[in-house]
A and B are shown apart, each in its own frame.
Chain A
Amino acid sequence: MQLIEFREEGLFVPQADVYIDPWKPVNKAFITHGHSDHSRSGNKSYVCTHSALPVIKHRLGSHINAKGIEYGEEMSVNGVKFSFYPAGHIIGSAQIRVEYKGEVWVASGDYKTTPDGVSEDFEPIICNTFITESTFGMPVFKWKPQSVVMDEINDWWRSNKEQGRVSVLAAYSLGKAQRIINNVDHSIGKIFTHGAVENVNEVIRRQGVHLHETIRVVQGQKQSMYTGGLVIAPPSAVDSVWSNKFKDFSSGIASGWMAVRGTRRRRSADRGFILSDHADWDELVGTVKATEAERIYVTHGYTDVFSKYLSSIGYYSAVVNTEYTSDELNTVAEDVEEANGIK
C-alpha cells in the first residue's frame, strides 16, 4: 500500500482516511491553500493552516467544519503523522508532510521558493516521495528577482501617472494582488482595487496581516478620482467592460505566462510583467533536489516534460492526473461573479 494513493477524489492517505486537496467531496480534507482548485466545497471536514483558514471560510462559507493548525505542528490520525510547512505560494499556503512508520511523503500543493514579503517563506522538506506541481515546468521559465519586477511596475505606473493615465494591472485576486499592493512604491500614488481583490484584502487584514491602504472601486465615482492611480483587478475584469470606466488607461498583466512573447502578444495588454506565485524551472529542479526524495510525482502544469526530465537525471518520476489547474490567467471568473454579485 502506498502512503498516498491517487484516487478519483484526490490524493488519498488510506491509513488515515484523509484526502489532500480533493476535487470531489470527502469526509476529511487537508487543504494546502485557499485557491479554488485546491480548496473545494462539499467536504465534511477541513484542516488547513491558521493563516489559510479565514480566506477558505470566506470563500466556502463560515458554516464549514474547518480546523486550523500551526506550521510545524504535528497531528496524528490513526498513526499517520501530518504536519504543514510553508509553501511560499500565498498567505497560509502549505506543503503537507505525511509520515507513517518512518516513511515520509510531501504534497507540495502550489509553491514558490523565493520570499515575496506577504506569504510565509518556503522551506524544503526532506522526504522519500515528493509530490510536486509543475505549472512552469519548462526551462524557458526563469523569473527575475521580485524587486526588479516591482521596479518595472513602478516605472510603468509612474510614466502613466505623468501622462495623466490610470494604470490597470491584472493580477490574481488572492495572492498576487496582495503581493503587488505591499511591494510597489507607495509614494507614486493611490492603489485602487476591484471588488474581488478588496474582498480578499478585508479578510486578510482582519487576520492581522498588514496590507497597504487600498480603495475599493465602486460604481458612480468620478473618473478623475482614478487618474494617476494603480488599479488592481482580476484578469477577466481587465478584459471586460468593467475597465471601461477608467477611460484613459494603460493595461498591464502580472503573470508568469508573460515570459513568452507569443502569450504576451495574444493578450492585448499594453504591458506584461513576469511575476508568478509558482516556482520557475530552476526553483522546481532545485526543490526536487533539496527534498532528497527518490520518487517524484508531478501533478499539474507541464507534467510530461518535467517528469521526463526528472527521469532523465535519475529520479523515479511519474505523472499523476489531478484536477488542479495551471492557468492562472483564466481561473478567476468566480471571483468576479462573487464581486459583482452578492458581496
Chain B
Amino acid sequence: MKRFAQLFKLLDYTTKSTAIINALVEYFSSTEDKDKVWAIALFSQKRPKRIVTTALLKEWSADLSELPLWLFEESYQMVGDINETISLIVPKPTKKSDNSLSYWIDVILALKDKEKIVIKDTVLDAWTSQDQDERFLFNKLITGGFKVGISQKSIINALSKVSGIEQSKVTHRLMGKWDPTNITYEELVLMADPTEDLSKPYPFCLVNALDIDCDQLGSPSNWSAERKWDGIRGQLILRSGEYYLWSHGEELVNDKFPELEQLKNKIETDIVIDGEILPFREGKPLNFITLQTRIRRKNVTKKHLLDTPIIIVAFDLLEYGGEDIREKPLIERKILLQEVVKEIDSDRLLLSEEIPFETWEELANERERSREFYSEGIILKHLYSPYKAGLIKGDWRKWQIDPLTINAVMIYAQRGNGRNTKLYTEFTFAVKDGERLMPFTKASYGLKEEELKEINEWVKKNTLERFGPVRSVNPELVFELAFEGIAKSARHKSGVTLRLPRIKQWRKDKPKSEINSLEDLNVLLNEFG
C-alpha cells in the first residue's frame, strides 16, 4: 500500500490540478490492475463499510504503545485527526512488507461480521508491518472513514490519458453501478460495453449562466423557456421493468426516493428522463432546505415521506425504446417526452411546462414573476440542440432571478481550507437584535482578492479573542450578503437558515448602525420562506 499512500499524500498536499493529474497518471500506469480498481472505487466514494469503531482502535493503540490515555488525548489535540493519531503513536513496524492496497482491503472485507477479538488480532498484526502512512490509510479504511478531496473529473482525465479512451466514455463507464470486489480493471475501464447494465445513466448536460443579453441569443422562436426549480437534478431510468434514479452527483439515489419506485411498471418501453427532483405539496414546490434534511439521512423514514413528499419534473428524454436519442434535436425529444409523461400518468411525474413568449421582453417579465411560482428563474434551451455531456457553453442557459440581499456585520473570521489555509476566508455575520448582535450565517465567497487581503490585515489588527482557528473581531465591517432562499430553522439561534449565502459586496460606505435587523430577516422569511 506504500504506493497508494504516496499518491494519497501527494493528492493531500497539492492543490495544483496538473500535479494531481500527473500523480494519478503515474499511479494508474504502474500499479497492478486490482489496485487500480480499488483506487478508482475509493476516489469515487465506494469505500468499504466500517468494520470497527475509531473508539476501539484508539483503545487498542494506547494499549499497544503502553501510553496512558491522557497522553493519547493530548496527542489527538495536537494532531487533530484520530486515525492519524493512532497511526503515529503505535510502535514502529517490526516487520518489513509492502502489501498492496487490494491486499489490505481484502483483509478488511474478510473481517465483516467477525468477532471483536479476531478483528483486534488482525488489526494489531497489520500495524506491525505497516509504516505510518499505510497505517493511517488502513485505519481510515477499516473505520469506514476514507475520504479524499479529489474530483471525479481528475480521475476520469487521468484514466483517459492512461488508457487512451476518450473522457466521455470513461465517464460513462465509471458512472454505473459497479462493485470493486467483482470487477476487473479491464471490465471497468477498458471494455467497451462490459455487462448489460440497465442502470447506467448518461452524463448530465449542465447549464451555464446567461452572461450575455438575450438579444444576442437570436430569435426567440429558436428557444424554449422553462421555470428553473430549486431541487436535485435527477436522471430517471426505466428499463426492462427496473427503476433507477441517479442524482447529478453521480449517485444512485433509489433508496432516498422510494416513492418513485411506483413509476416502474407504468410504461412498457425503455426510457431515460432528465428532470428535477422537487419537494412538492398541494401543487407547489416546498423549500429546498426541507429536501436537504431528507437526503442527508441514511434511512428515509415514514415521517420524511409525509413531511417532504417529492415529485420529479421531467424536462428532457434521453432514451426512448432502448434507443439513445440524445442526438435528436430538443424539439423532437420534447414531443416524445410529452407522450411518455402522458402514458406513465402519475402525480409523481410532472412535465416541465414551457413558458410561452414571443419577445425577449415578455420573457424578462416572466422572469420577474419567478418567486410567485417558487422558482429561481428561467432555463433557456436551444430548440434544435442535441443533448450534450457536461458543461457546454451555448445551448442551455440559466437566467436566474436576482438573489435576496441583506446588510450585516462581520463578527468572526476563520481560516479557509485547501489553498486558503493561510488566509481568513470564512466569515460569520450578524444582524441587529435590539441592542445585541445576532449571528445568522457564514459566507466565504464573493470577495475580490485585494479585498480579501485587506480584510485579512484588518482581522489581524482587530481580533478580540481566538478560539482555535477562529477569531472574533470588532463588529465594524459591513457587508451586503446575497442568498437564494431563506427557511425556518430550529437548529440556528437566529431561527433562520439561508440557501447559498455569499458576499455580494463590502459596504465600506455603510457604518455598523445601518445593518439590517433580525426583524428584517423575519420579514424575508415570511415572504419567501
Q: Is B401's CB within 8 Å of the partner chain A?
A: no
A260 contacts which of B65, B74, B79 (Cβ < 8 Å)?
B79
A265 contacts which of B12, B71, B74, B131 (Cβ < 8 Å)?
B12
Enumerate B127-145 residues with CB–CB distance to A below 8 Å: 131-132, 136
User: Is B84 a contact partner of A268 (Cβ separation < 8 A)?
Assistant: no
A139–B84 alpha-carbon span in the complex (Å): 12
Which residues of chain A have C-beta atoms less than 8 A from B13's C-beta?
264-265, 269-272
User: Is A140 a contact partner of B12 (Cβ separation < 8 A)?
Assistant: no
User: Is B74 a contact partner of A261 (Cβ separation < 8 A)?
Assistant: no
A154–B67 alpha-carbon span in the complex (Å): 35
Name the distance in Å between A339's Cβ and chain B's nearest Cβ. 24
Which residues of chain B have C-beta atoms less than 8 A from A259's C-beta?
88, 132
Q: Is A309's CB within 8 Å of the partner chain B?
A: yes
Q: Is B359's CB within 8 Å of the partner chain A?
A: no
Name the distance in Å between A147's Cβ and chain B's nearest Cβ. 14
A282–B80 alpha-carbon span in the complex (Å): 21
Enumerate A122-177 residues with CB–CB distance to B below 8 Å: 138-142, 144
Q: B81 — nearest CB in chain A belongs to which residue? A: A261
Q: B65 — nearest CB in chain A belongs to which residue? A: A139
Which residues of chain A have C-beta atoms less than 8 A from B75's C-beta?
138-140
A305–B421 alpha-carbon span in the complex (Å): 27
User: Is B79 a contact partner of A262 (Cβ separation < 8 A)?
Assistant: yes
Which residues of chain B have C-beta atoms less than 8 A from A101's C-beta?
none
Q: Is B493's CB within 8 Å of the partner chain A?
A: no
Which residues of chain A have C-beta atoms less than 8 A from B306's C-beta?
none
User: Is B421 a contact partner of A261 (Cβ separation < 8 A)?
Assistant: no
Q: Mark B62-97, 1 if CB is under 8 A from A, else 0.
A: 000101101100110011110011001100100000
A165–B88 alpha-carbon span in the complex (Å): 32
Name the distance in Å between A177's Cβ and chain B's nearest Cβ. 22
A140 contacts which of B14, B68, B89 (Cβ < 8 Å)?
B89
Enumerate A203-221 residues with CB–CB distance to B below 8 Å: none
Which residues of chain A have C-beta atoms less than 8 A from B92's C-beta?
142, 282
Name the distance in Å between B372's Cβ and chain A's nearest Cβ. 47
A142–B85 alpha-carbon span in the complex (Å): 12
Known: A261-B12, A262-B81, A270-B13. A312 touches B68 (CB 8 A): yes
Which residues of chain B have C-beta atoms less than 8 A from A63's C-beta?
none
A335–B13 alpha-carbon span in the complex (Å): 27
A268–B421 alpha-carbon span in the complex (Å): 9
Q: Is B422's CB within 8 Å of the partner chain A?
A: yes
Main secondary structure of the interface of B (DSSP, over half): helix
How many A-B pairs have beta carbons closer than 8 Å: the answer is: 60
Which residues of chain B have C-beta atoms less than 8 A from A271's C-beta?
10, 13
Name the distance in Å between A49's Cβ and chain B's nearest Cβ. 32
User: Is A268 a contact partner of B88 (Cβ separation < 8 A)?
Assistant: no
Name the distance in Å between B62's Cβ and chain A's nearest Cβ. 10
Which residues of chain A have C-beta atoms less than 8 A from B81's C-beta?
261-262
Q: Is B19's CB within 8 Å of the partner chain A?
A: yes
A269–B19 alpha-carbon span in the complex (Å): 12
B89 contacts which of A139, A264, A308, A312 (Cβ < 8 Å)?
A139
Which residues of chain B have C-beta atoms less than 8 A from A269's C-beta?
13
User: Is A268 a contact partner of B74 (Cβ separation < 8 A)?
Assistant: no
Chain A interface size, under 10 / 10 to 19 / 20 to 34 / 35 or more: 20 to 34
Which residues of chain A have C-beta atoms less than 8 A from B421's C-beta?
265-266, 268
Q: Mark B29-69, 1 if CB is under 8 A from A, else 0.
A: 00000000000000000000000000000000000010110
User: Is A139 a contact partner of B67 (Cβ separation < 8 A)?
Assistant: yes
A282–B91 alpha-carbon span in the complex (Å): 9
Known: A261-B12, A265-B12, A265-B13. A138 touches B84 (CB 8 A): no
Main secondary structure of the interface of A (DSSP, over half): mixed
Enumerate A268-284 residues with CB–CB distance to B below 8 Å: 268-272, 282
A239–B376 alpha-carbon span in the complex (Å): 45
User: Is B65 a contact partner of A270 (Cβ separation < 8 A)?
Assistant: no
Q: Is B303's CB within 8 Å of the partner chain A?
A: no
User: Is A268 a contact partner of B422 (Cβ separation < 8 A)?
Assistant: yes
A139–B61 alpha-carbon span in the complex (Å): 12
Which residues of chain A have C-beta atoms less than 8 A from B14's C-beta?
270
A282–B66 alpha-carbon span in the complex (Å): 12
Name the distance in Å between B313's Cβ and chain A's nearest Cβ. 42
Q: B62 — nearest CB in chain A belongs to which residue? A: A139
Name the distance in Å between A174's Cβ and chain B's nearest Cβ. 27
Which residues of chain A have C-beta atoms less than 8 A from B297's C-beta?
none
A272–B81 alpha-carbon span in the complex (Å): 18
Q: Mark A5-35, 1 if CB is under 8 A from B, else 0.
A: 0000000000000000000000000000000
Which residues of chain A have C-beta atoms less than 8 A from B67's C-beta?
139
User: Is B71 a contact partner of A309 (Cβ separation < 8 A)?
Assistant: yes
User: Is B422 a contact partner of A138 (Cβ separation < 8 A)?
Assistant: no
Which residues of chain A have C-beta atoms less than 8 A from B298's C-beta?
none
Most chain A CB within a 10 A radius of its CB, from B12, B67, B79, B85 = B79
User: Is B84 a contact partner of A261 (Cβ separation < 8 A)?
Assistant: yes
A10–B96 alpha-carbon span in the complex (Å): 46
A262–B88 alpha-carbon span in the complex (Å): 13
Q: Is B302's CB within 8 Å of the partner chain A?
A: no
A144–B14 alpha-carbon span in the complex (Å): 23
Which residues of chain B have C-beta atoms less than 8 A from A270's C-beta?
13-14, 19
Q: Is B296's CB within 8 Å of the partner chain A?
A: no
Which residues of chain B have C-beta atoms less than 8 A from A264's C-beta?
12-13
A270–B19 alpha-carbon span in the complex (Å): 9
Name the distance in Å between B135's Cβ and chain A's nearest Cβ. 11
User: Is A140 a contact partner of B419 (Cβ separation < 8 A)?
Assistant: no
Name the distance in Å between B431's Cβ and chain A's nearest Cβ. 33
User: Is A260 a contact partner of B89 (Cβ separation < 8 A)?
Assistant: no
A142–B93 alpha-carbon span in the complex (Å): 11
A259–B10 alpha-carbon span in the complex (Å): 14
User: Is B80 a contact partner of A138 (Cβ separation < 8 A)?
Assistant: no
Q: A148 — nearest CB in chain B belongs to which residue? A: B131
Enumerate B417-444 residues with CB–CB distance to A below 8 Å: 419, 421-422
A138–B13 alpha-carbon span in the complex (Å): 23
A142–B92 alpha-carbon span in the complex (Å): 8
Name the distance in Å between B249's Cβ and chain A's nearest Cβ. 25
Name the distance in Å between A101's Cβ and chain B's nearest Cβ. 37
21 contacts between A and B (CB under 8 A): A138-B74, A139-B65, A139-B75, A139-B88, A140-B79, A140-B85, A140-B89, A141-B88, A142-B132, A260-B78, A260-B79, A260-B84, A261-B12, A262-B79, A265-B12, A266-B421, A268-B421, A270-B13, A305-B71, A309-B68, A309-B71
Q: Top 9 nearest A-B pairs by Cβ distance?
A: A140-B88, A139-B89, A140-B75, A262-B80, A305-B74, A266-B421, A260-B79, A138-B75, A261-B84
Q: For the A-B complex with A260-B79, A268-B421 known, give 20 more contacts whose Cβ atoms are closer than 8 Å.
A: A139-B65, A139-B71, A139-B75, A139-B88, A139-B89, A140-B75, A140-B78, A140-B89, A144-B131, A259-B88, A260-B84, A261-B79, A261-B84, A262-B79, A266-B421, A270-B13, A272-B13, A305-B71, A308-B71, A312-B68
